Structure 1
Amino acid sequence: MTGTTTRPAPAPAALRLKLGDGPSRKAALDGAWWPRTTDAQAELPLLLQALAGLRGEITHVLLGTTEWDLPHPRRLLLGRTAPRLGWYTSQPAGLVTIMTEFGRDRFDLLVVPPDATPAAADTALAAATDAYDKTARAELADPVTDGAG
């Protein structure tokens, strides 16, 4: 007699997102996000669900074309909404911008590369949420990408 082992489905991976204390146009960034892959279609739903309602309904997401795998869809179905995805060569590297309804507010998030080391990612996540840290986005991303591999 052979037995069958049923294994529970793996739990969904936790979102690696750190936000600052609140919306502030004084800070360079609102926080940082460390996706697990460069597949935007797989990574964005969990991020957008976490941000939904914090500053209004999410309507647009602006992404850099070179940092994300193809295809680059124009919309992302997310429950009862379908935010538009804009893919731009001019979007600064290491940045995702998430716009809310009627341009009322936005989130500017540092994107930590998926292959960053945990130590480098933790440093970038902490620096990106420090309202008093005026380090430019590019400078925050440099140690992360230098330490990746």
Structure 2
Amino acid sequence: MTIASGTPDPPLLLARLRLTPLDGDPHRIDGAWWPRTGDLTVELPGLLAGLPHAWSRIIHVTVNGTLWSAFPGRMLVAGQVLHLHHSASSQSTPTACLVAPGMGRWDLVVVPPHTEEAEALHLMATAAANPPPPPQRDTASNAAASMPMTP
């Protein structure tokens, strides 16, 4: 990791971010993020700066999908080392998983950077308001589970 000394940090752009309501319940998806570029090293400082205080101390970020250009295994953000990973998941929706040890894990849907604004805003609102439900059991299991037990 190379850090240039004597050069000012580039200005942070406000993250385009929409989070699920903080209602105390766990969510499969915790919100949506619409980065401006496919450069994770440029986008992450703004994302982390825009997160709620309760999400502090993020030290690990895993992304999937093909929208990111190559990035290092770690980078320095706000004086803290951030470990970066790319998952080769076959999941069709790009996501970012943020981890803070002892605090929790948060999963964000990532809206591709070049998405038209109206579509991106719709996707973000949908992800934040209506996270996908957990997978359902098959119908045979559901039917068996609803049958009364007999001695």
**Does the TM-score normalized on the shorter chain lie above 0.5?**
yes
**Paired letter, 1:113:** P
Question: Whole-Å Cα distance in 2 between the matches of residues 20 and 94 of structure 1?
Answer: 17
Q: Indicate the RMSD between aligned Cα atoms, in angstroms.
A: 2.3
Structure 1 unmatched runs, 5+: 1-10, 137-149
Structure 2 unmatched runs, 5+: 1-10, 135-151
Instruction: Tell me the matched-pair count.
Output: 122
- Structure with bigger gyration radius: 2
Identity, % of aligned positions: 32
Is the alpha carbon distance of 1:46 and 1:87 closer, same or farther for their aligned partners in structure 2, counting shifts above 3 Å? same
TM value normalised by structure 2: 0.71
Give per-residue Cα distances to partners, 1:74-105, cap 9 Å, x unaligned: 11201221111111212734100000124x31
Give per-residue Cα distances to partners, 1:102-138, cap 9 Å, x unaligned: 4x311100100111111111111111111x45368xx
Is the alpha carbon distance of 1:64 and 1:91 closer, same or farther for their aligned partners in structure 2, counting shifts above 3 Å? farther
Question: Whole-Å Cα distance in 1 between the matches of residues 95 and 31 of structure 2?
Answer: 10
Q: What residue is the counterpart of 2:3 in the other structure?
A: none
Please identify, of 45-54 and 113-122, the stretch whose mean Cα deviation from structure 2 is larger: 45-54
TM value normalised by structure 1: 0.71
Q: What is the correspondence of 1:1-149 to structure 2 with a 5 Å cutoff? A: 13-22=13-22, 24-25=25-26, 27-51=27-51, 53-64=53-64, 66-70=66-70, 72-90=71-89, 92=91, 93-102=93-102, 104-130=103-129, 132-134=130-132
